[in-house]
Chain A
Amino acid sequence: MSIAVRHITKTFGRFAALRDVSLEVAAGELVALLGPSGSGKTTLLRIISGLDQPDASPDSEIRFHEERVEGQAVGQRQVGFVFQHYALFRHMTVFENIAFGLRVRPRKERPSNQEISRRVRELLHLIQLENLESRYPGQLSGGQRQRVALARALAIEPRVLLLDEPFGALDAKVRQELRRWLRRLHDELHVTSILVTHDQEEALEVADRIVVMNEGRIEQEGTPEEVFHQPKTEFVINFLGNVNLFHGRVEQDGVRVGPLLLPNNHVAGVSGQVARAFIRPYDVEVHRDKSLAALPARVLRVQSAGPTVRLELLSNSGDSILAEMSHDKYRKLNVRKEEEVFVSVRDARTFMDDYVI
Chain B
Amino acid sequence: MNLLKKKHSVLPGFGLTLGYTVFYLCLIVLIPLSGLVVRSASMTFPDFWASVTEPRVVASYKLTFGASLAGALINAVFGFIVAWTLVRYRFPGKRLVDAIVDLPFALPTAVSGIALTAIYSKNGWLGQYLEAWGIKAAFSPLGVVIALTFIGLPFVVRTLQPAIADLDPELEEAAASLGARRLQTFLRVIVPTLLPALLTGFALSFARAIGEYGSVVFISGNMPMRTEITSLLIITKLEQYDYAGATALALVMLVVSFLLLLAINVLQWWSSRRFHGGIA
Contacts and interface: CB of A to CB of B under 8 A. Distances in A.
Q: Do A and B bind each other?
A: yes
A34 to B, nearest CB: 22
Interface string B104-137: 0000000000000000000000000000000000
Given A83-B170, A135-B277, A136-B275, A104 B193 contact: no
B275 A75 contact: no
A87 B173 contact: yes
A32 to B, nearest CB: 20
Contacts of B277: 135-139
Nearest to B185: A104
A104 B179 contact: yes
A342 interface: no
A101 interface: yes
B177 A80 contact: yes
Contacts of B271: 91
A100 B175 contact: yes
Interface in B147-183: 168, 170-171, 173-181
Given A87-B168, A87-B173, A89-B193, A104 B274 contact: no
B101 interface: no
B178 A85 contact: no
B73 to A, nearest CB: 21
Nearest to A91: B192
What's the interface size class on A, roughly?
20 to 34
Contact of B170 (A75, A85, A90): A85
A245 interface: no
Interface string B4-28: 0000000000000000000000000
B274 A136 contact: yes
Nearest to A138: B277
A261 interface: no
A73 B176 contact: yes
A101 B179 CA distance: 6
A139 B180 contact: no
Most B C-beta atoms less than 10 A away, residue of A73, A76, A89, A135:
A89
B279 interface: yes
Interface in B178-218: 178-181, 184, 188-189, 192-193, 195
A162 to B, nearest CB: 8
B170 A138 contact: no
A71 B7 CA distance: 59
Interface residues of B, number: 25
B278 A139 contact: yes
A350 interface: no
A152 interface: yes
B193 A90 contact: yes
B276 interface: yes
A75 B171 contact: no
Nearest to A51: B173
Contacts of B173: 51, 74, 81, 83, 87
Contacts of B168: 85, 87
A74 B177 contact: yes
A152 B178 contact: yes
A75 B274 CA distance: 28
B275 A91 contact: yes
A91 B176 contact: no
Contacts of B195: 91
A90 B166 CA distance: 13
Nearest to B272: A91
A105 interface: yes
A71 to B, nearest CB: 16
A79 B179 CA distance: 9
Most A C-beta atoms less than 10 A away, residue of B179, B192, B274:
B179
Given A91-B275, A136-B274, A136-B277, A75 B174 contact: no
A101 B176 contact: no
Interface string B89-106: 000000000000000000
Contact of A81 (B171, B174, B184, B276): B174
B174 to A, nearest CB: 4
Contacts of B274: 90-91, 136, 138
B172 to A, nearest CB: 9
B176 A74 contact: yes
A156 interface: yes
Most A C-beta atoms less than 10 A away, residue of B170, B174, B271, B276:
B174
Nearest to B189: A89
A91 B179 contact: no
B171 A89 contact: yes
A214 interface: no
B223 to A, nearest CB: 45
Nearest to B184: A104
A311 B265 CA distance: 63
Given A81-B174, A91-B195, A104-B175, 17 more contacts: A50-B177, A74-B177, A75-B178, A78-B179, A81-B177, A83-B174, A89-B174, A89-B188, A89-B189, A89-B192, A90-B275, A91-B271, A91-B275, A101-B178, A101-B180, A139-B279, A156-B179
10 nearest CB pairs, A to B: A139-B277, A101-B178, A87-B170, A138-B277, A87-B174, A104-B180, A81-B177, A91-B192, A75-B179, A136-B277
20 contacts: A74-B177, A75-B178, A75-B181, A81-B174, A83-B173, A83-B174, A87-B168, A89-B174, A89-B189, A91-B271, A91-B275, A104-B175, A104-B181, A104-B184, A138-B274, A138-B277, A139-B279, A152-B178, A153-B178, A156-B179
